[in-house]
Amino acid sequence: MIAHMNADHGDAMRDYCRLYGVDPGDTQPRMSAVDADGADLMLGKRLLRIRFDTPATTSDAVRKALVDLARRGRT
């Protein structure tokens, strides 16, 4: 899941940053961890914790949570 996000969903991770009030600038966020409560993004040496609204206990639930966060970050 982490490799897929880093390879294919850079724009979504930039949306997560904006949702949390962080401007990634020229730095491409990289996902470094994901668990039931959220995901960790690295912005260079800076760590940004992205929290899910509710625990995601299956891979499908994590995917849905990440999609929802990306949608919210675009608005």
Characterise 10 by phi-psi region: left (phi > 0), alpha (psi -120 to 50), beta (else): alpha
Give the CATH number for residue 50.
3.20.180.10
pLDDT score, position 69: 94
Evaluate if residue 75 carries a pLDDT over 90: no
**Burial (0-12, 13-18, 19+ Cβ within 10 Å), 51:** exposed
pLDDT score, position 7: 97
Helices and strands, counts by H and E, the chain: 3, 3
CA distances from 33 to 48, 49, 74 (A): 11, 9, 22
Evaluate if residue 19 carries a pLDDT over 90: yes
Confidence of residue 14 (pLDDT cuts 50, 70, 90): very high
Number of domains in the chain: 1
Evaluate if residue 27 carries a pLDDT over 90: yes
Range(s) of the domain holding residue 34: 2-74
